[in-house]
Amino acid sequence: MNRALFHRGPDGDGEFSDDHVHIAMRRLSIIDLEGGWQPLYNEDRSIALVANGEVYNHVELRDQLERRGHRFATHSDCETIIHLYEDHGADCLHALRGMYAFALYDIRAKRVIIGRDRMGEKPVYLVRRDNELWFCSELRCLLASGVVPFQLDPGAVNLYYHYNYVPEPLTAVKNVHKLPAGSYLQIDLDPWTVTERRYWRLSDAPPVEGDPPTLIREELERIGDLIIRADVPVGVALSGGIDSTLVAALAAARRPGLIHALTVGYPGRPEQDERSLAAQTAQRLNMPFHEVEVHPREVVELFPERALWRDDPIADMAGHGYYAVSRLAKSCGIPVLLQGQGADELFWGYGWVRDALEASIVKGSGNRAEAARDPYRRLMPSSLGPRAVKDALSLMTQRWLGWQQFHPDDGAPDDQLIFYNGNGAYQRARWLVRRVFPPKFAAQAFSMDPAHLFRRPRPWNDLPVMFTELICETYLLENGIVQGDRLSMINSVELRLPLCDYRLAELAVGLRKTQPDHRLPFKHWLKRAAADLVPADLMNRPKRGFTPPHASWMHHLIDAFRLSLEHGYLVEHGVLAPQAAAEMTNHRFRLPIWTEAIYKTLVLEFWCRGMSSAAAQTSMNHTHRVPSLSSENLPAPTFRLRPAV
């Protein structure tokens, strides 16, 4: 298992083992390069810890703990977890600010605590087998262990076709789950009991009074102090947008001339290419500047591997941008990369979310007829032009195909369904899966309600807060955060997301509870808070964030790989109907829905090939021991637990 995670920690490894617990990890050295090796222990070595990620507030925590009499053996940020546990037990999680997943073994109590950060930046995959629990940082790690076979979960595949990812706690593999963000697992070995607890929810943030821009700016300044803590070079993935520019400004102000800027461009400099804007920002902030040009040939060549490297099947074309900028960082000797994800989800950066919220507000008022019309009216173009014509034709196609907008036929009470996915993607998927799944697979797949995430019991008391939490737990987590973590770690680069800081998220929700902002201009509070950090000409530009030339890349990928579907893994294993595979292969003129379907199916096809190969080729067994006893992982703990006898 540890060998399978070498990319997450190439600097060393470490392990702890006794009769009941075996934990191992890989290290990417970021803080305390010489002394921070794991496993970490308390003073009398009665507690052992392996951890993945960063505790950003470790300096403040160390000062408090030392004043209470704790003695530290290293300068590792993760050692604070052990001493906090000594004082507070599992409640130590409430004191941590950062991105982390850890396993802590209390040897005397014969108890293991497995914790995950609030926003889910670091992953934990779980398998229960008899009286054993196996868990790790990547799905491929479990497959490499041989403890679970590679078998697709039909219900999860159905969800994948609806959302372009599989929402946690599910994974696409049978009998493998994720520990949800903001949760911890307590395993008592004698007697053997496993308990999962949720220690944090975004919607529980207390109401906050005060001036939003002022309070948000104060929190951003605190975040800026925390996220640059590292004993190695730090860079920023810089596009031409507000969010990455804000992160760059916060970091550069604290280390003038030392924070690097890295960006991605494309041949011919199409409209998506933002290298010029990024270079201007880097020059203004006195940041060394690095750029890389991504050619469609490279996108095609790496597509099969990139589908696997994401670890989960994720049908997002922007993933290669994440990969390319982290690979650039690696080549420049920059093992820590800051990125601007999170602001759009916290501060109304997506029009489709606001549209869905407004439609849900109307529905919550009890006016069903108005609710049914509202999404169409909002999607109708307000002016002529190519985009407006395309949108109008899309709506006409939906009605012609007879799609039932916002009314899944799953038997659940319709009055509990919010209008979350009101941009039509959900409805297109419902139409699609009925054409691509063979009958036997469909019977199993349709047992899972794809709309379960969008069902909320009445009354809907605070829809803006509900939508903020929902998009953070779905699209931000499973599409943005997962891709960022996996595609940076495949290059042995640690990704940090300052705008996903949980206290910033709590502040946004707390303010929203006292002064709703969903009808203000896009990202109004954040823009005002950052007014002197981000140039005025960038403030009103649409979100980009390494947005690739989708149409060109899609054309190249489909031409290169569509023939692989007819006799591929999905057809062979009864997931994709042969007729559907042939239809995808042979159509020369396709509606956009078929282009979307082909891309989703190609991602799933090559993800399955890679995962099944990883499971089949493993040469390790359950008793293998990693020989080295060094290392503090920053990335990638792996674990095995057995009950006491």
Close Cβ partners of 481 (under 8 Å, ≥ 6 residues apart): 119, 120, 121, 341, 497, 500
Among the listed ranges 21-30, 399-408, 568-577, which one has the minimum average pLDDT value? 399-408
Helices (H), 497-577: 502-514, 524-529, 536-539, 550-561, 569-572
Q: Is the pLDDT of residue 451 over 90?
A: no
pLDDT score recorded for residue 548: 79
- Cβ neighbours of 392 (radius 10 Å): 14
pLDDT category of residue 454 using cuts at 50, 70 and 90: confident
Q: Between residues 639 and 70, which one has the greater pLDDT?
A: 70
pLDDT score recorded for residue 626: 32
Which DSSP state fits 499?
Answer: G
Q: Could you tell me how many residues make up the chain?
A: 645
Domains of the chain (ranges; CATH) run 3-153+168-200+631-641 (3.60.20.10), 204-343+465-548 (3.40.50.620)
Cis peptide before 375 (omega within 30 of 0): no
Q: How far apart are the C-alpha atoms of 142 and 406, rounded to whole Å?
A: 37
Encoding tokens for residue 493?
A: 């680069």
pLDDT score recorded for residue 372: 52
Cis peptide before 459 (omega within 30 of 0): yes
Q: Between residues 374 and 42, which one has the greater pLDDT?
A: 42
Q: How far apart are the C-alpha atoms of 483 and 307, rounded to whole Å?
A: 10
Q: How far apart are the C-alpha atoms of 45 and 86, rounded to whole Å?
A: 12
Q: Is the pLDDT of residue 104 over 60?
A: yes
Phi first, then psi, for residue 478 (nearest 5°) are: -85, -25
Q: Is the pLDDT of residue 570 over 50?
A: yes
Cis peptide before 169 (omega within 30 of 0): yes
Q: Is the pLDDT of residue 381 over 60?
A: no
| DSSP bridge partners of 132 | 129
Q: Is the pLDDT of residue 485 over 60?
A: yes
- Cα→Cα distances 446→154, 408, 418, Å: 8, 11, 20
Among the listed ranges 191-195, 464-468, 494-498, 548-552, which one has the minimum average pLDDT value? 548-552
- Cα→Cα distances 259→220, 288, 491, Å: 17, 7, 19
Close Cβ partners of 380 (under 8 Å, ≥ 6 residues apart): 391, 392, 395
- Cβ neighbours of 424 (radius 10 Å): 20
Region 98-117: mean pLDDT is: 98
What b/e string do you get for 473-494 counting C-beta neighbours within 10 Å, with b at 16 or more? bbbbbbbbbbbbbbbbbbbbbb
Among the listed ranges 128-132, 291-295, 619-623, which one has the minimum average pLDDT value? 619-623
- Cα→Cα distances 199→111, 196, 533, Å: 18, 10, 35
Q: Is the pLDDT of residue 590 over 70?
A: no
Encoding tokens for residue 389?
A: 């014509």
275-305 residue pLDDT tens: 999 999 999 999 999 999 999 999 999 999 9
Close Cβ partners of 447 (under 8 Å, ≥ 6 residues apart): 154, 155
170-229 residue pLDDT tens: 999 999 999 999 999 999 999 999 999 999 999 999 999 999 999 999 999 999 999 999
Q: Is the pLDDT of residue 38 over 70?
A: yes
Q: How far apart are the C-alpha atoms of 264 and 491, rounded to whole Å?
A: 16
Angle of helix 592-617 versus helix 578-586 axis, rounded to 10: 120
Mean predicted lDDT score pLDDT of the chain: 87
Phi first, then psi, for residue 136 (nearest 5°) are: -165, 180
- Cα→Cα distances 479→44, 310, 313, 322, 568, Å: 42, 10, 10, 12, 25
Residues 124, 102: contact at Cβ < 8 Å?
A: no
What is the β-pairing status of strands 98-106 and 183-189?
unpaired
305-324 residue pLDDT tens: 999 999 999 999 889 999 99
- Cα→Cα distances 191→39, 104, 625, 642, Å: 25, 18, 26, 11
Q: Between residues 598 and 391, which one has the greater pLDDT?
A: 598
